[in-house]
């Protein structure tokens, strides 16, 4: 007796099925890839933050005293309500004349923004002795390879987002000054940290160095130290030190909150 064979799939049915699978893959793979990238960046952020902060508090513990290299916290600022900045400002809010204390008419106190007189010695201890620093570019960091080839400063990112506005090419963390003027420290794991000034606790970090995406709010962030006379450096802060964030990127504080809270 001849058995009747079961009917199989036709070529058209197979092609339709493969087409549906392709459409679903095209819709889901970018989301999956994005989620994977975000998870990787969060882990890199956690690693950087933990390593850097442990180095900072480790120095204070070893010294056995507060380190004066910080911006005032809101609560500890001795000039709150006593001295406000008065100056002529440009359209971006930057002072274009010598700033004075509006209440006294005198120059701003040297410690108006914070206690920073020990920053130079602290930076030497932090970057040269405590952190595992593989390379230092004292200036011209871009030409010396301490910055990735596709690095863009804050003013470039800002102008791309708001092409009708003008941004200071010599402002804090602008393209030219980071590439040519700021010292950049490259750690053993590839992380690089650009320091704004010898006398100010303000930094730019790329948490995975030369690796992509090299975008503000993804792997590039800016931050500073806050503190007071009793504790010294009390925390790493982002606000108000966020100078640029690219589309769909996150500010330092948002990334911190997602990683640690």
- How far CA 68 is from CA of 170, 211, 250, in Å, comes to 27, 34, 29
Which pLDDT score is estimated for 165? 87
Tokens matching residue 72 = 């005032």
Which pLDDT score is estimated for 16? 80
Q: Which residues have CB under 8 Å from 162's CB, separation 6+?
A: none
Which pLDDT score is estimated for 85? 93
State pLDDT tens for residues 160-174.
Answer: 999 998 888 999 999
pLDDT tens per residue across all 261 residues of the chain: 455 555 667 877 777 877 888 887 777 756 666 667 788 999 999 999 999 999 999 999 999 999 999 999 989 999 999 999 999 987 667 788 889 999 999 999 999 999 999 999 999 999 999 999 999 999 999 999 999 999 999 999 999 999 998 888 999 999 999 999 999 999 999 999 999 999 999 999 999 999 989 999 999 999 999 999 999 999 998 767 889 999 999 999 999 999 998
Calculate helix-pair angle for 11-63, 252-260, nearest 10 degrees: 100
- How far CA 32 is from CA of 183, 201, 258, in Å, comes to 37, 38, 19
Q: Which residues have CB under 8 Å from 159's CB, separation 6+?
A: 165, 166, 167
> What angle is formed at CA 214 by the lines to CA 210 and CA 215, rounded to 5 degrees?
165
Nearest to 208 by CA among 195, 223, 219, 221: 219
């Amino acid at each position: 007796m001849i058995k009747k064979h079961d009917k199989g799939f036709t070529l058209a049915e197979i092609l339709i099925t493969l087409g549906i699978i392709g459409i679903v893959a095209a819709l889901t793979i970018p989301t999956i890839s994005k989620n994977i990238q975000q998870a990787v960046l969060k882990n890199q952020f956690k690693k950087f933050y933990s390593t850097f902060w442990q180095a900072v508090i480790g120095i204070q513990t070893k010294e056995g005293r507060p380190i004066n290299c910080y911006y005032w916290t809101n609560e500890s600022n001795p000039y709150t309500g006593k001295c406000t900045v008065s100056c002529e400002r440009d359209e971006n809010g930057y002072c274009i004349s010598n700033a004075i204390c509006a209440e006294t008419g005198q120059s701003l106190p040297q410690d108006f923004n914070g206690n920073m007189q020990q920053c130079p010695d602290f930076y030497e201890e932090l970057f040269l002795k405590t952190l595992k620093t593989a390379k230092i570019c004292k200036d011209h960091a871009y030409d010396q390879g301490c910055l990735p080839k596709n690095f863009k400063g804050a003013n470039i990112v800002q102008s791309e987002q708001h092409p009708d506005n003008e941004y200071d090419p010599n402002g804090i963390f602008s393209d030219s000054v980071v590439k040519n003027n700021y010292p950049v420290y490259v750690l053993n794991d590839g992380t690089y940290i650009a320091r704004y000034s010898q006398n100010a606790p303000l930094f730019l970090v790329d948490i995975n160095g030369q690796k992509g995406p090299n975008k503000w709010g993804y792997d590039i962030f800016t931050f500073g130290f806050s503190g007071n006379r009793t504790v010294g450096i009390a925390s790493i802060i982002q606000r108000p030190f966020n100078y640029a964030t690219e589309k769909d990127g996150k500010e330092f504080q948002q990334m911190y909150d997602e990683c640690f809270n």
